[in-house]
Structure 1
Amino acid sequence: MKWKKRALAALLAALCLLTACGEGGLGGDDGPVDTVEVSDAYFGMAWYQNGTLNPVLDSTSINRLLCEALYEGLFEVSGNFTAQNVLCASYTGDGTTFTFTLRDDVTFWSGEKLTAADVVASLQAAQYNEASPYHNRLVEAASIEALSGSEVRIVLSSPNINFPRLLDIPIYRQGSAESGDFADGTGPFQPVKDGNQWKLEANESWHGGFLGSIRHITLVPMTRADAAESSFRTGDVSLLREPRIAPDGASTIIGGSIDTVRTASADLHYLGVNYSNPYLANAKVRQALSAALGRQSLCDTQLQTFAAPAVLPVNPQPAADGLTLNMSADTETAARLLREGLEQAGGAGDTGQDDGETDTGEEDADGEAGGTDTGSGGASGGDAALSIRLLVNANNTFKVAAAEQIAASWKAVGVSVTVDRQPYETYVSMLQSGDFDVYYGETLLTPDFDLRPLLSSDGSLNYGGYSSQTMSAAVAAARSGDNLAAFYTAFAEEMPFIPIAFECGQLIIRKGLIDNFSPAPYNAFAGLEEWTSSGE
């Protein structure tokens, strides 16, 4: 822990006193000494006042950012998506039954000691409330119980060796969410009321030790849950989390003296496939479509440099033996796989690259999707070996541009593509009815990268009718921790859907307010012990 490191440094400084090295670094009680230069710079955070702030149930983006300063989970998810202990001192687990032992040095702001009962109450609040943003993480928890004052046991209905990644769920003191403005937390900051104004002050009893240079935060009340961006532009709010690739296609780019910080995420962009199309049902055809993609180029251009290319549906991309994860287009391999796949599926197998007369799927003069292929794709399409209708949400300009670049990549290997741009409501309806060949999709996966919604025959995101007992077995084995590499190999060979990239999160902060700002995927205040302020 950071304070232990500082304590060790202070002790060494004291030993140096014996050899005239300098002054000692111990306080009068031989405890660690706070040597951080505290900043007096203004730091404002938005607060949407909608009743008691319950960190487990509040789903507004404004308050979820605020909760990261106030509350902690058993674990924190790091930038490479590993579970780092926070309130949990240690745990044991076989993938189905987990026992978590709590730290014995944690107290709430109120001074009450953290107990297993508090953890159970917080987790069950998420489990039993479908409106909770953490509800889906606990749907397979068959039981959550306190074994003692410091031990919690969770039994799952099916194995998940990565279950601790899901337990960054905020913990609050049992019963404290029923009254007052803030449920009682353990985080580095605590709310303090100064007259009619709420602010955040450093939690002097925080188990993590001394905070960095920021010790005081002004809370800026919001009457609307979407008002934080305008308050950031006026200077009232100092820290903002906004998507760079917004759902409505409006990129959140704020000029001026700011720092923009990327964070890793589990937000997957991918291409879904309709398995009623006999050509797309062939694994080599899907491998060909994947190999033809210039993923790095897509991330650098249409996805605003705010995405990490992905061939496999996990972040970060694994270093798996025997697998080559090429983020650039490999047209030679793609053409070969396409030819072999079409031959297997009964097509002509001619990639049509020699004459270069493939349909580009350009727009008609009225701006609607061009091309006459509005039904299911086939193995014919002029001189092309394969015709595909690529469905995309027309309301998101980034995705439309990405879809057109994908179409160009497939054209290079002889595939005819019509980019079918549809308003969001129509797009969703067509997904649900299976009215597509390929669709451009996006989904926010859980931190354990559970792919069953996409790969299970009854998965909620399995719009294309994919079904494979072999793949289901590989997924189950990977979730059990038996053979993760085998799953990666099976996915690459089967390519049941085609990953494109993981979108990055975006945090925007006033320039010079914080140096050494290194947020985690779900915690903007990760590493705040190391914060300094240059004031530039």
Structure 2
Amino acid sequence: MKRKHPLHLSLIGILAAALLLGLGGCSVEETLPAPTPTPAPSAETTAPLEFALPMSEGSLHPLLSTDKVNLTLGGLIWEGLFALDRTFTPQPVLCQSYSVSEDGLTWSFQLRSGVTFSDGTPLTAEEAATSLNLARSAQSRFAGRLSGVRSVAAEEGAVTVVLSAPNGALPALLDIPIVKGDGDAPLGTGPYVLEGGEAPRLATRSGWWQNKSLPVDAIPLRSIREADDLIYAFDTGDVSLVTADLTGTNALGFAGDYEVWDYPTSTMLFIGYNASSGPCADAALRRALDRGFDRTTAAVALLSRHAQAAALPVPPDSPLYDETLAQRRSYLPQALSELLTQAGYEKDGDGLWGKGRRTLALTFLVNTDNTFRLAVAEYLAEELTRSGITVDLQKLSWADYQKALSAGKFDLYLGATALSADFDPGLLTKAGGSLNFGAFQSGEIGALLAAYQRASGAERESAARSLWEGLEREVPFTVLCFKNQSVLTQWGAVSGLSPTQNNPFSGIENWTLGS
């Protein structure tokens, strides 16, 4: 998705949220006109700029660094066994082929021949295994996703991975950079190599195994120390491209004329329920509430179109997303009323839902650290109130929000989580799951989840459908949307981008620099 944004996007999101809260239950697509793009700057008045990228003074190590600016460069220097495309489907890169044991626990990944690191030495199974074992270590940013890996070992031209439990989607977790050497910038097998000195840059490699034509031979790297430096460098055109979470907490405020290239992510916004006590312990009520949340308004307006409305725990771009099932859970106030009636609720003379003499009153938690998510919670709470449900929206600091969740002092809450690319919802449904604050339990969902985790290939789509149907019956949580993140480029600096969640430079061979 490509758009031009001449204004600060946080301001647009806040204005849209204020407008929608005044419109009540109106559909955003019916009430908001499409934005009119500002004309591109004239080629006669805009001088071409050198294509340059930012680099901070932190570590560039793709497995150990947490520096977001430097991690952006990773796709130009390092490659993994696999890469995820925009549908989150793993595509083989350094892996030539693979096989898996009958019990689903032992995987063997055959390495591609003819691959060399930037110093000309060949890729070996030992280096691949060393990289994956480093990625499993506690200091790595990949440790969480590889927690189910029991061992990694090198064999003749292959890497063997042994799991503690079957995972048919293991390749989707292995878009992990393979490196050689130590230090803050180990060698990689990618198209560019880092050249240091007083004027650091990325230079093309003559021995890159993919042998694809690249749009630029050298990319200067501009030194960045603080967030303000990055904003200034981009606003003045000193750097040509940055990545940003434009609806994130403390989102950076870029200004001027630039193009926005959105890409899907695995970050899910959802409503969690207290399934162990209070009114939401009744699955019938959860099914009713599931139809009362306007996902489209949340994604399109309140998140400034930087999200995709979704009703299933996978992004709409994923082949596991079943549109028929999603439609069954779409926003429909009439369905909310019908399902509340079926659950034994009725409206009193004041138009409030209740059962017997007890009014249906819900405590709804949201943390105040993210203004966009706060706007979403305010809008959803207002919509439930309009339907006749009494809602106490508690706006809490992050620390108080976490305490209330851990203590079970809620009926529902607005949450967000970055799912791993195998899209395992167990953290929300398993006993002891890190996000199962509502203590949901279901033997049926547990069995469906285990079958989904084991399945691969075409069987995984069938297993996913069965799991989504089970979640539709039990509704331990309600999916609202999946966030997009963005690549920002100077107007006319580059075209042909197709960024992915973990590589804004995916498909760089198809780029064209300049207008």
Aligned to 1:209: 211
The alignment of Structure 1 onto Structure 2 pairs a total of residues equal to: 459
RMSD between superposed Cα atoms in Å:
2.3
**Match of 1:408, as an amino acid?**
E
SS of equivalent to 1:221: strand
Shift of 1:247: 1.6
Give the Cα separation in 1 of the matches to 2:509 and 2:135.
29
* Structure 1 residue 406, shift from structure 2 partner: 0.8
Residue of structure 1 in register with 2:140 after alignment: 132
Q: Which residue of 1 aligns with 2:286?
A: 286
SS at match of 1:255: coil
**Residue of structure 2 equivalent to 1:177:** 182
User: In the aligned structure 2, how far is the partner of 1:97 from the partner of 1:468?
Assistant: 29
Residue-by-residue CA offset, 1:350-378 (whole Å, 9 max, x unaligned) = 045x75468xxxxxxxxxxxxxxxxxxx8
Distance 1:221 1:241 in 2: 16
> What residue is the counterpart of 2:122 in the other structure?
113
Q: 1:336 aligns with which of 338, 344, 349?
A: 338
Q: Does 1:515 align with 2:473?
A: no
Deviations 1:480-502 (A, max 9, x none): 11522211110111111111111
Report what 1:473 is aligned to. Answer: 447
Q: What does residue 310 of structure 2 align with?
A: 310
Q: How far did residue 227 of structure 1 move?
A: 4.5
SS in 2 for 1:431: helix
Q: Which amino acid aligns with 2:231?
A: E
Aligned counterparts of 1:522 and 1:443: Cα–Cα separation in 2:
16
- Offset of 1:54 from its aligned partner? 1.8
Report the alpha carbon displacement of residue 44 of structure 1 after superposing the two structures with TM.
1.9
Is 1:350 matched with 2:363? no
Residue of structure 2 equivalent to 1:35: none
Q: In 2, distance between residues paired with 1:351 and 1:75?
A: 55
CA change 1:291–1:77 in 2 (3 A) is same
Task: Tell me which amino acid in the other structure corresponds to 2:346.
Answer: D
Deviation at 1:419, TM superposition (A): 1.1
**1:405 correspondence with 2:379:** yes
1:2-401 matched pairs, under 5 angstroms:
41-50=49-58, 53-94=60-101, 95-128=104-137, 130-148=138-156, 150-173=157-180, 176-178=181-183, 182-193=185-196, 195-224=197-226, 227-248=229-250, 251-316=251-316, 318-320=320-322, 323-325=325-327, 328-341=330-343, 343=344, 349-352=345-348, 355-356=350-351, 384=359, 386-401=360-375
Counterpart residue identity of residue 65, structure 1? T
Q: Aligned equivalents of 1:123 and 1:79: distance in 2?
A: 23
Unaligned runs of at least 5 residues, structure 2? 1-47
| Unmatched tracts of structure 1, length 5 or more | 1-39, 344-348, 359-377
Question: What TM-score do the two structures reach when normalised by structure 2?
Answer: 0.84
Give identity over the alignment, percent. 31
Letter in 2 for 1:441: G
Query: Is the 8 Å Cα contact of residues 214 and 531 (structure 1) preserved in structure 2?
Result: no
> Contact 1:380–1:387 (CA<8 Å) still a contact in 2?
no
Larger RCO: 1 or 2 (CA < 8 Å, sep 6+): 2
Displacement of 1:298 in angstroms is: 1.4
Asked if the contact 1:269–1:441 (Cα under 8 Å) also holds between the matched residues in 2, the reply is yes
1:440 to 389, 392, 414: 414
Residues of 2 paired with 1:226 and 1:501: CA distance?
30
| Contact 1:81–1:165, Cα closer than 8 Å, also in 2 | yes
Aligned to 1:529: 509
Contact 2:307 2:482 in 1 (8 A): yes
Q: Deviations over 1:440-489 (max 9, x none)?
A: 11111111112221111111111111111211111111011152221111
Q: CA shift at 1:211, angstroms?
A: 3.2
Q: Quote how far apart the aligned CAs of 1:412 are.
A: 4.0
